[in-house]
Amino acid sequence: MKPAPFAYYAPSSVADALDAISRADDPEDLKVLAGGQSLVPMLNLRLAQPGTLLDINKLGREWGNIELDPAAVRVGALVRQRAAERSAVVTEWCPLLAEALPHVAHVQIRTRGTIGGSIAHADPAAELPVVALALDAQLHITGLRGERSVPAAGFFQGFFTTALAPDELLSRIDFPRLPAGSGTSFAEVSRRRGDFALVAAAAVVTVREGRIADARLAFAGVAPCPVRSVAAESALRAAEPAPDVVESAAQAAAGALTPRADVHGSASYRRHMARVLAIKALTTALERSVSPGG
Ligand SMILES: Cc1cc2nc3c(=O)[nH]c(=O)nc-3n(C[C@H](O)[C@H](O)[C@H](O)COP(=O)(O)OP(=O)(O)OC[C@H]3O[C@@H](n4cnc5c(N)ncnc54)[C@H](O)[C@@H]3O)c2cc1C
């Protein structure tokens, strides 16, 4: 199939992009084209039939950079997934993102797909949204009403649904730098290498003076959007890092999930894998954390 007809704009600045949005008769009828690795198949299958396509690829000068800030790794929405994967800044300062990226599709797709596109698309089985959630990333949004930023916890709102309004663009993702004593890990099960996750777990822990000072655990593939496990996080906080602590936190996490069955796996299989992957991710994250006092 071929896409239904649409008007095409390719602005060369953010100001021009906003101007194009302001001139759209109905912002709901407009779709943003970034890497096109999710949108183009949807257009070709006519699952999406926008009246207007706003190609933001020429905004790369403004939104295509990775910068190291004292507080965060700032990743422009148009940074290609492959560029982030190969970035020394990401490898050193945001190792959870670096570890998750090779799980996203295949090299050819990552060469074109963008970090912002994956996060804005918010597929419940995608790797980058769950990384953003586990790291408490800050999502920067630009629109006709100005700029705003939303924490990842408020950004992912449901099945392919985010806090972005139809007339807004995701411009940058700030992945906070972690304090000393922190470790992170990403674990996933998928049918084949390069497939979306059946279940994925992302863990972030900080160990201070021999105790877990902070812990975040997030899952993909078990709910309509990525979710954090409050039950596991509170079971881990202030505890001494030990296998039984990790196992009971993972059990608490899995017990609180209500995944849906689909052609790829039953609900009980997904819940089981959530527990297994939580143990794996938390154990590795704890091993990677370097505790100054313990
Ligand atoms: C064969 C195949 C396998 C794949 N496997 C995986 C996988 O295993 N894991 C995974 O996570 N992904 C996978 N993907 C999807 C891939 O990662 C996409 O690159 C990603 O989901 C979307 O990024 P994009 O830049 O291509 O966005 P596009 O396809 O251009 O856009 C996707 C959606 O996001 C919106 N959007 C994009 N950028 C912005 C922005 N800056 N502001 C506002 N809205 C925006 C678009 O309007 C559109 O609705 C796969 C894709 C293919 C074709």
State residue 294's pLDDT score: 40
Residue nearest to atom 8 of ligand 1 (CA): 196
Query: Residue 31's closest CA among 51, 10, 59, 1?
Result: 51
pLDDT of residue 293: 41
State the pLDDT at residue 27.
84
Q: Which pLDDT score, from 0 to 100, does residue 208 have?
A: 96
- Please report the pLDDT score of residue 292 as a whole number: 46
| Residue 42: Cβ-neighbour burial (10 angstroms; 0-12, 13-18, 19+) | middle
33, HSE (Cβ side, Cα atoms, 13 Å): 21
What pLDDT was estimated at residue 1? 74
pLDDT of 290 reads 75
| Total residues belonging to the chain | 294
Residues 10 and 34 sit within 8 Å (Cβ to Cβ): no
Instruction: Confirm if 183 and 217 have CB atoms less than 8 A apart.
Output: no
Give 110 Cα–ligand 1 centroid separation in angstroms.
9
- Provide the edge-to-edge strand list for the sheet that holds 66-68: 66-68, 72-76, 168-176, 138-143, 146-151
Nearest ligand 1 atom to the CA of 63 is 41
Residues with CB under 6 A from ligand 1: 31-39, 41, 77, 104-105, 109, 113-114, 116-118, 120-121, 123, 126-128, 164, 169-170, 194-196
Please check whether residue 57 is in contact with residue 78, taking contact to mean a CB–CB distance below 8 angstroms: yes
Low-confidence ranges of the chain (pLDDT < 50): 291-294
